[in-house]
Homo-oligomer: A and B are copies of this chain.
């Protein structure tokens, strides 16, 4: 193994097991499906790594790796070294370093072709990387046009590009336009200036005048604000939003989990947008 190979293995280790971006801003993805997503995403891929037993996935990935514009190194290592680098318990033996697109708010605010208006998911204080990833996966599935992560006074939002979030998102974080780490106040102002209606998701029933998901007109330009798993959105954000939304429920079960609640609300948006289009 050359010293260049060794340098790459260190980078993979930082990004996967370490869970933080490399000095170049590359994040690590692991497993054949996520590597495939990364290669197909249009994001810059810095390197692909196979372990000995991971070589069995090479054929599936070959058409994506072989494209002329893909000028990155394809490295090999032993199963033992790969296990020391990977973040998962039973790694599939294939990983990539990929640089997420650097996007501006303008990219998230745009209305993509085929959509009637922007539908932006704002994660404000969602702490669990699994929830962040699952919500982004659901958002992409139901036609959200972009996402923003923001910290609140009480809590930050987990990075969509950390390995656990990336796995839960099934790679959606590489496709959906995302801006990370906005200041929440500035974001709310920008949404207002751009005529985007803000909807605060409320976990508890006691918010006066909260709408059911089916009472919202989802064909408008909308930003759905999703708060912390336990505490929800900060009260001042709930009040500052253009409207509040709450999922009515049949029983005394306190609340849905954060990802299930987001799925329900985003489904309702998709149902309406779809029937408006027909």
Chain A interfacial positions (CB closer than 8 Å to B): 134, 137-138, 140-143, 168, 170-172, 175, 213-214, 247-251, 253-257, 259-261, 263-264, 267-268, 270-271, 274
Residues of B within 8 A of A175 (CB): 251
Q: How far apart are A246's CB and chain B's nearest CB, in angstroms?
A: 12
Q: How far apart are A236's CB and chain B's nearest CB, in angstroms?
A: 27
Q: How far is the CA of A254 from the CA of B40 in the complex (A)?
A: 14
Q: How far is the CA of A134 from the CA of B255 in the complex (A)?
A: 11
Contact of A138 among B142, B248, B256, B270 (CB under 8 A): B256
Could you list 10 A-B pairs, sorted by A, with CB under 8 Å? A137-B253, A137-B256, A138-B256, A140-B250, A143-B249, A143-B250, A213-B267, A249-B270, A259-B259, A263-B264
Number of copies: 2
Q: When the two chains form their complex, are residues A251 and B134 in contact, meaning their CB atoms are under 8 A apart?
A: no
Q: How far apart are A174's CB and chain B's nearest CB, in angstroms?
A: 11
Q: How far apart are A22's CB and chain B's nearest CB, in angstroms?
A: 26
- A271 and chain B: residue at smallest CB distance: B214
- A143 and chain B: residue at smallest CB distance: B250
Q: How far is the CA of A268 from the CA of B255 in the complex (A)?
A: 17
Q: How far is the CA of A249 from the CA of B141 in the complex (A)?
A: 5
Q: Using A138-B260, A264-B263 as known contacts, say yes or no to A172 and B271 having CB atoms under 8 A apart.
A: no
Contact of A253 among B140, B214, B254 (CB under 8 A): B140
Residues of B within 8 A of A251 (CB): 140-141, 143, 175
Residues of B within 8 A of A249 (CB): 141-143, 270
Beyond A137-B253, A141-B256, A172-B253, 9 additional contacts (C-beta under 8 Å) are A137-B256, A140-B251, A140-B253, A141-B249, A141-B251, A170-B253, A247-B267, A249-B270, A264-B264
